[in-house]
Amino acid sequence: MSAISIRLEDLVPVGTMTINSCETDIVDFEALSPEYSPAFIIAACAKMAAVDAIINPKMLISERVIITQRMDTNLGLLLNPINKLDYYLGSAVGLTILVKDFGISEVRAARNDGDMQALDTALRNLLANTAVTANLAALTLKGYSAAQNTVIVNLRAAYSTDNAAQVAKDKQIATLRTNNAPVLKSFWDLLSQIWLAGKTIYKVTNPDNAKYYTLSHIESVIHNNTLHGGFRGKVRILGVATKGLVVEIKPVLGGRIRKSTTNNEGDFDITSLARAEYSYTVYQAGVVLVAGTFVLATAEKLLMDIAA
């Protein structure tokens, strides 16, 4: 049998669609060979459950969720200090470099992209530029304090520590997959067997049905649904729907930040989301009000009312 030719993250969705098709057509499969029976479907589902546990290990992902939530909270805490420093830079006199070269825009871009390595680098550069004697003196005259600088220093250190912890969890997940490569390959071989049988049965008699046993078509269906998910709802503070709150989400296993601002009715709406587990954080004027996580199925439109 051939090597696995798709992303491991797609193996369970592809397997689900394949096994569902086989179960629907089980009478035709049994006519081809007695090995295809309800018992075959049960065994295939059991193999898929084992594969899912390897690709999406709940314990390791839960531990990573905790790290991600802590990082998201700290990302929220960075907004006010950076906005204030930006103000001080804009009004300070006698800086040794141009304001645009201090690195504020790079910090914001890295934060919005969820790129913690880039954020660490950008904050290091920003703090180094701020620490230049002439620059610090000019900023201090405008109101920038040692305490404000310490907040940014401590947040950068926290990001660096948690980023390393995330990388360690990712390595554990990757190692789990590597150590269980034979299990993943066995499931892939099972799917390949079903595809071959399905095409054998339907290629001539029912070409439209045969495509459901063609990997390219299965991937097309899955990928067409990939960014059709959504997260929307209403945010209430003490029971009152509130305008102007920022709802940010980020995939737990890494990715860029997406955001929406609540309207007059307190409603938010974030579209074009892929199947994944996400963390969410609600901010008011840069202050974290509430945070949590949710799991989004393929093409699911999740509705959630959030109380803060």
157 shares its domain with 284: no
- Report yes or no on 283 lying in a domain: yes
Cα separation values, 168 from 61, 114, 130, 142, 293, Å: 12, 17, 32, 42, 21
Which of 226, 251, 280 corresponds to the end of one domain? 226
6 shares its domain with 147: yes
267 shares its domain with 177: no
Which of 226, 243, 273 corresponds to the end of one domain? 226
- Token pair in block for residue 102: 């201090």
Per-position pLDDT tens, the chain of length 308: 679 999 898 999 999 999 999 999 999 999 999 999 999 999 999 999 999 999 989 899 889 888 988 888 888 889 889 999 999 999 999 999 999 999 999 999 998 787 888 999 999 999 999 999 999 999 999 999 999 999 999 999 999 999 999 999 999 999 999 999 999 999 999 999 999 999 999 999 999 999 999 999 999 888 776 678 899 999 999 999 999 999 999 888 777 889 999 999 999 999 989 888 898 989 888 778 888 889 888 788 999 999 98
198 shares its domain with 298: no
Check if the beta carbon of residue 10 is closer than 8 Å to that of residue 224.
no
Given this model, what pLDDT does residue 185 score?
A: 97
199 shares its domain with 240: no
74 shares its domain with 145: yes
The values of phi and psi at residue 170, to 5°, are -60, -35
Which of 226, 244, 278 corresponds to the end of one domain? 226
Given this model, what pLDDT does residue 274 score?
A: 85
255 shares its domain with 188: no
| Local structure of 94: helix, strand or coil | coil
- Report yes or no on 10 lying in a domain: yes
- Report yes or no on 119 lying in a domain: no
Q: Domain tally for the chain?
A: 2
- Report yes or no on 265 lying in a domain: yes
Burial (CB < 10 A; 0-12, 13-18, 19+), residue 212, is buried
Alpha-carbon span 93 to 10, nearest angstrom: 55
- Report yes or no on 181 lying in a domain: yes
Given this model, what pLDDT does residue 193 score?
A: 97
Q: Between 146-179 and 181-202, two packed helices, what is the crossing angle to 10 degrees?
A: 60
Alpha-carbon span 157 to 120, nearest angstrom: 8
253 shares its domain with 234: yes
250 shares its domain with 171: no
Question: Is the pTM of the predicted complex or chain greater than 0.75?
Answer: no
What range defines the domain where residue 260 resides? 227-307
Strands 267-273 and 229-237: antiparallel
Alpha-carbon span 210 to 207, nearest angstrom: 5
Give the CATH number, domain containing residue 295: 2.60.40.10
64 shares its domain with 150: yes
